Amino acid sequence: MRPTPGGYNGPGTSDRADGPSSIRLTFLGTGGSFGVPMLGCHCAVCRSSSPYNRRTRTSALLEFDGRSVLIDASPDLRSQALERGVERVDAVLFTHDHADHVGGLDDLRAFNLRQRQALPCYGRPDTLEAIRARFSYIFSSAPALGSRPRLELREVSGPFELWGRMIQPLDVLHGHHLITGYRVGDLAYVTDASGLPEDTYRALEGVRVLALNALRQEPHVLHFGLEQAVETARRIGAERTYLIHMGHELEHESTNAALPPGIELAYDGLSVCV
């Protein structure tokens, strides 16, 4: 397996070139909605002993200026946070409301209890409306005997600021639905894309590090296939592109070997610094 840029060569390794203006992105999970291994599957990737081929559902953590911002709350959030030593979350950025991106919402209770405050959660109005309906017990005014997450839902309609950093939402096509990617400085995170509007390509100009989805070799009605992702990454022109939201069709080592320079598969625990 080829080493990743910046000297990464194993799960959980990270770029140590942190500085006062740097942003760190840790891939908590890089798998599609089934995860890898997939339940009941006996393919070579699902049976692989390589840690690079074990993928929990896609989620990520942005760290800057002493703050930790979660991107999506996958159903595997608890195990991801334990594995990566995540001890605080200051805000959550939601890309959309599908189960593999919000299924871990209840686990945010632990951060409420530790930090003794509600968590601001950002997303498109329709995303937040769906979350409010699906997790109605969280937002109920009725007294509860047990704990429940304390979340402040904040609608995203344009760029907004978090602790001095400008967060730029990006329109992303997910089949017929419009969902959200995010750009923070020279880093951009786009998952579950089947296409990008022209305005989004313009908003991504000059980005240096890009996370972009690639579900499998073949195109999918809701997701980029590998070739589509590579073409999109080339058009965006980031120095480094890391592919995420992958199914069991993509074996890590052989797929990486066939990718062009500057584009590679991410893996659970990979941490990059911009």
How do residues 80-107 score in pLDDT, each as one tens digit? 999 999 999 999 999 999 999 999 999 9
Written as six digits, the tokens of 191 are 């998952």
Predicted TM-score (pTM) of the model is 0.92
Class of residue 44 by CB neighbours under 10 A (exposed 0-12, middle 13-18, buried 19+): exposed
DSSP 58: P
Q: Which amino acid is at 72?
A: D
| Under 8 Å between Cβ of 181 and 95 | yes
pLDDT at 3: 37
Q: How far apart are CA 191 and CA 207, in angstroms?
A: 16
| Under 8 Å between Cβ of 190 and 181 | yes
pLDDT at 145: 73
Minimal CA–CA distance to 270: which of 233, 237, 242?
242
The domain made up of 19-139+148-155+166-273 is a member of CATH 3.90.1150.10: no
Q: How far apart are CA 111 and CA 86, in angstroms?
A: 10
pLDDT at 20: 66
Q: How far apart are CA 243 and CA 17, in angstroms?
A: 22
How do residues 103-138 score in pLDDT, each as one tens digit? 999 999 999 999 999 999 999 999 999 999 999 999
Written as six digits, the tokens of 253 are 């080592």
Class of residue 235 by CB neighbours under 10 A (exposed 0-12, middle 13-18, buried 19+): exposed
pLDDT at 173: 98
In Å, how far are 57, 95, 145, 246 from 267, measured between CA atoms? 11, 19, 39, 10
Question: Which parts of the chain sit beneath pLDDT 50?
Answer: 1-14, 16-17
